[in-house]
Amino acid sequence: MPSKKSPNPIDIHVGSRVRLRRMMLGMSQEKLGESLGITFQQIQKYEKGTNRIGASRLQHIATVLKVPVSFFFEDAPGTPEEAEGFGETQPTSYVVDFLSSSEGLSLNKAFVRIEDPKVRRRIVDLVRSLGGDD
Task: State the pLDDT at residue 133.
Answer: 65
pLDDT tens digits, residue range 12-55?
999 999 998 998 888 999 999 999 999 999 999 999 999 999 99
The predicted model scores a pTM of: 0.66
In angstroms and rounded to an integer, the radius of gyration of the C-alpha atoms of the chain is 17
Q: Are 17 and 71 in contact (CB under 8 A)?
A: yes
Residue 122 predicted with pLDDT over 60: yes
Q: Which residue type sits at 124?
A: V
Residue 7 predicted with pLDDT over 70: yes
Burial environment of residue 27 by CB neighbours within 10 A (0 to 12, 13 to 18, 19 or more):
middle
